[in-house]
Structure 1
């Protein structure tokens, strides 16, 4: 176990000295073959070599853009930045030699001095980014020496120095760089350790992208904090073969693994087709579910599907967090299993809690309890006063794990990270932008403050409408729906944009699909869909963790429109 407050370079240095041959990170391919391994000594030595090269081109505090395919070179590059005291900026790697728009915006925002990548990506990435930032230096990590030449000596790392910028787009298309310090990381890693019940034998299996906070902080830095082993695979391998994830958990006897809600749904859907591999999931003690709305039916379905393989429902671990709080804010209690709450929908629409009577309410899955060394409040976003226990409000968080702010955005930092709650003068809170309530100590997240649809004075939470819409017909794509409101002739009107499943593009009847959606939304929410847009797969913008970017979808709807789907043709509207 690492002492809280120890900067990461010191943690790695100690591991490399005390247990140099221990396997820190293992990367497996789609056949579960180990294609790369890093011991603590390997990582320490290679990271120092990268740091030596960085200091030849950069000054402490300069930014380094990290663009890597799935694999262990990213980890070497990241720790090289830490040793050189250069600020790492993880970003989504190019796909098919195409650099994403978000990456261009990140480069403009943080003005990196150097790009760390691999040789195979170098030329295409350089051709795309050099016109935007001609003075960039380029370092292919896989082509650098495996050890420093002896002339570089890392300096002590100040606890409040920035460890990396975690860019987050949230529900908008404008990325903001969250400044995560060494102190923030140390505090949150220790919170995770205690909440998950981890020790040095708690093997972690993960497939989340390493440029995403869940992949980096949860699947890379938490095992280092523990002295445990991390088994990593590519996100693409999971998407193509969801049960490969479970096979890795079974083979490596993982204690902890998880992902967004859709990952558990994907496994259930694949299991329903039969032909499952041999699995023993009795080792899995923390199956964390976070990064998007947690569905009660997902939790129940996964537990039922994999109970015959030794999986315990009590291992399900709903949690809640965000990049602005480093990663984790609330989590279930290990071994307890999820909590559910039946809410009256009428009260929910008025922003209050009341227990559902006689069925017909909305079931919410809890996101766990507040963790040690933090303060979580439910606050009225207008009056800035704490809400009564039965009222829904904005989730506010305070603690050492709350990040320093947004890179180069003092006004946004003040508004988001330096809020004061009435009755608690002098304590700065993070305004998460999420709406929720606490019942019997459990946090229940109901939606995003900016995404709430208000029609005729009643609040509707878009993820509920989206779930209803995409579940109304088998031709509709799960995770491919956006609900939002726009001005109409008689006030706000509801717009639903829904993607069709690829294999149904020329099979399903468009009129039948549309009628199913409208009927389901009217039946479940007593709400008429003002405009329904059926579009093709992959048209809705999403964040790196798979969340629908509703603000960006609304903007596109109002400006250029979406490519429409019909049974035979498509057009733009």
Structure 2
């Protein structure tokens, strides 16, 4: 087994030099840019040769591109030259610019690798760079490649630092997870264990990814997994998907991809926006792993997607709930290929007391979707966050994780690192765990996620999970936008009060504001037994989310208290 990504790529180049590694759908459809294994090696080693002449090993390089071959070449060039790659998305608005500036300040890069267009645009915000570290800017698209001018370090090993992967920042500020080659290859082998356990039927394993490549799920499923499997990956930008979700499934159908990953909202979007006529053009019979992760997995979405796309060959066993986080590269748990999702109903009041009681579906139950089990050396346990004692099955606590995929620390954040990594559990002092910050339980070997510790709403001694209240709110009226709601509590008059911020579709009728608010209050009270103190209906597209689409509840609460919400009125 290869223990670093560079050896993994070079081994595949020797086996299949002319095989296409990446199909990049520039326009999301027919404009295709390809990169073979040998072309990637030549271009990445060429660029690495230039980098190693001017920058010392361990220097940070921000890799600033949209989905493109230049991004891929630059990323691999950093790995070849033993620079630490820091993937970031080009800023499209002021909020994204603030994120980029924050990452530059934290990572202290020696250079930014980008293209001529993006670098020229950086001149417009030059004034924001004055108090930041000095760095070079290299336009990769202007480089002329020379087949004889190549370089890759011969000192790379499993402990060599490879990437700083910044978290989405859904709770607090974004943190840079420092990943070495062992972390990355171990996570790849976990994913390959799923693929190799039950190979696809009558088709070559291949991948399709529209996720942003600067995020953990996009980076692993779109860039690295194809190399680890010796096959190919088809890529398109997130914008191409969001403009027209049909493009995702059309590409899956055309290239006969077997594996593709996306958050729950993407499957929901396909159900709503892909027409019956478009379905007739699709063949999804070969798509055997439709990984659903990165946000809460909803049973309703699973069922609707299966019902709608079974007509074009989609297998109900292909929908594949999973769990992961950046501190573990991306992957932690999932089921086996072709196994059905595990969906259970648990008593709502018992869950609020951290107990799991399964019963028939009723107004008094919450539906949860299992996210599978660990692979290879991975281990997941549930720990009482107050006593630091491991809990038994079907008891809710914090999810602790152990594997070689776990990073050693956050970049430049010693205090947060000590509070998160290599945590000891009472009675197991010889082993260190990652504190995930997520709440959940294990039942029959299956992990279930119930929420985030920092997002938990505690009212009069009872625990309420925000995503459950948010689900009730967004379904209270057809004018409400699904996935664009935040529930949280704030201290008002020395008492915690429940607040809901809900986006309304552009076509919503403003004469119904009062009835919409009353609907939310009534349904939350009837469903959860709790009174909503205040409800704010806001304009579509204005709820604060991370770059990966997660609702920033803490940030929303600050905006609520400072009265800075974009109220729909």
Alignment of 1:310 onto 2:313: yes
Q: Report the equivalent of 2:478.
A: 474
Tell me by how many angstroms 1:158 deviates.
2.3
1:15 paired with 2:12, answer yes
| Separation of aligned partners in 2, 1:526 and 1:47 | 59
Taking the aligned partners of 1:437 and 1:518, their CA distance within structure 2 comes to 30
C-alpha contact (below 8 Å) 1:176/1:407 kept by paired residues: yes
Partner of 2:121: 124
CA drift at 1:358 = 6.4
- Cα offset for 1:540? 1.9
2:322 is matched with which residue?
319
Residue number in structure 1 paired with 2:60: 63
Shift of 1:99: 5.1
Q: Equivalent residue for 2:185?
A: 186
Output the aligned Cα RMSD: 1.8
Distance 1:549 1:276 in 2: 34
Instruction: Give 1:526 deviation, angstroms.
Output: 1.2
Q: Indicate the SS of the match to 1:288.
A: strand
**Deviates further, 48-57 or 418-427:** 48-57
Is residue 4–residue 187 contact of structure 1 (8 Å, CA) maintained in 2?
Answer: no
Matches within 5 A, 1:278-427: 278-357=281-360, 359-360=362-363, 361-427=365-431
Q: Which residue of 2 aligns with 1:46?
A: 43
The offset of 1:335, in angstroms, is: 0.7
After TM superposition, the score normalised by the length of structure 2 is: 0.95
Deviation for aligned residue 1:141: 1.0
CA shift, 1:115, in A, is 0.3
Gap change, CA 1:375 and 1:31, over 3 Å in 2: closer
- Structure 1: how far apart are the matches of 2:341 and 2:332? 16
- Alpha-carbon deviation of 1:100? 2.0
| Structure 1 runs, 4 residues or longer, greater than 4 Å off | 96-99, 272-275
On the 8 A contact 2:334/2:373 being kept in 1, the answer is yes
What number of residue pairs does the alignment pair up?
562
- 1:535, distance to aligned residue in structure 2 (A): 1.0
Equivalent residue in structure 2 for 1:563, among 551, 566, 569: 566
Equivalents in 2 of 1:260, 1:546: separation in Å?
9
Partner of 1:453: 457
Task: Identify which of 85, 107, 110 aligns with 2:107.
Answer: 110
* 1:358/1:133 CA distance change after superposition, 3 Å: closer
> Secondary structure at 1:278's aligned position in 2?
coil
Unmatched tracts of structure 2, length 5 or more? none
Question: In the TM superposition, what is the alpha-carbon distance from 1:333 to its structure 2 partner?
Answer: 1.6
Aligned match of 1:160? 159
Q: Is the 8 A contact 2:379 2:402 kept in 1?
A: yes
Q: 1 CA distance for matches of 2:152 and 2:444?
A: 52
**Which has the higher mean CA deviation after the structures are superposed, 539-548 or 318-327?**
539-548
* Shift, 1:272, TM fit: 5.6
- Distance (Å, rounded) in 2 between the aligned partners of 1:508 and 1:46: 60
* Among candidates 544, 547, 555, match of residue 544 of structure 1: 547
In 1, the alpha carbon distance for the partners of 2:511 and 2:180 equals: 51
What secondary structure does 1:202 align onto? coil
**1:202 and 1:255 in contact (8 A); partners too:** yes
Q: Deviations over 1:363-407 (max 9, x none)?
A: 101111122211110000011101122210000001101112100
CA distance in 2, matches of 1:85, 1:133: 24
Partner Cα separation in structure 1 for residue 329 and residue 511 of structure 2: 44
- In the alignment, which residue of structure 2 is the partner of 1:197? 196
CA distance in structure 2 between the aligned counterparts of 1:296 and 1:358, rounded to whole angstroms: 12
TM-superposition CA deviations, 1:335-359 (whole Å, max 9, x none) = 1120011101110111100112562
Which residue in the other structure is 2:264 paired with?
261
CA 389–225 in structure 1, closer or farther in 2 if over 3 Å, else same: same
What SS does structure 2 have at the residue aligned with 1:561?
coil
Q: In the superposition, relative to structure 1, how do residues 334 and 128 fare at CA in structure 2: closer, same or farther (>3 Å)?
A: same
Give the Cα–Cα distance (whole angstroms) in 2 for the partners of residues 356 and 245 of structure 1.
Answer: 37
- For residue 534 of structure 1, the aligned residue among 509, 532, 537 is 537
Q: Distance in 2 between matches of 1:103 and 1:373?
A: 35
Can you list the C-alpha shifts for 1:260-319, whole angstroms capped at 9, x where unaligned?
000100000013675545011110110110000000000000000001110111111100
Change (3 A) 1:120 1:370: same
Aligned to 2:141: 142
Is contact 1:49-1:144 (8 Å) kept?
Answer: no
Match for residue 492 of structure 1 among 488, 496, 500: 496
Deviation by residue 1:501-558 (Cα, 9 ceiling, x = unmatched): 1232x55621122122112211211111111111112222212221111111112222
Partners of 1:398 and 1:153 in 2: CA distance:
32
Q: 2:73 aligns with which of 71, 76, 90?
A: 76
C-alpha distance in 2 between matches for 1:386 and 1:453: 23
Counterparts of 1:276 and 1:308 in 2: how far apart (Å)?
A: 8
Query: Take 1:33 and 1:440, find their aligned partners in 2: how far apart are those partners?
Result: 46
- CA contact 1:260–1:545 (8 Å) conserved in 2: no
Q: Mark the CA change 1:232 to 1:36 in structure 2 (over 3 Å): closer, same or farther.
A: same
Number of the residue aligned with 2:25: 28
Post-superposition Cα deviations, 1:95-129, rounded to whole Å, max 9, x if no partner, equal: 16985211111111011110000111111124425
Distance 1:79 1:192, change over 3 A: same
What is the distance in 1 between the residues matched to 2:18 and 2:130? Answer: 44
- Evaluate the alpha carbon distance shift between residue 507 and residue 532 of structure 1 in structure 2; reply closer, same or farther with a 3 A threshold: closer
Instruction: Kindly indicate whether the alpha-carbon contact (under 8 Å) linking 1:119 and 1:140 is maintained by their aligned counterparts in 2.
Output: yes
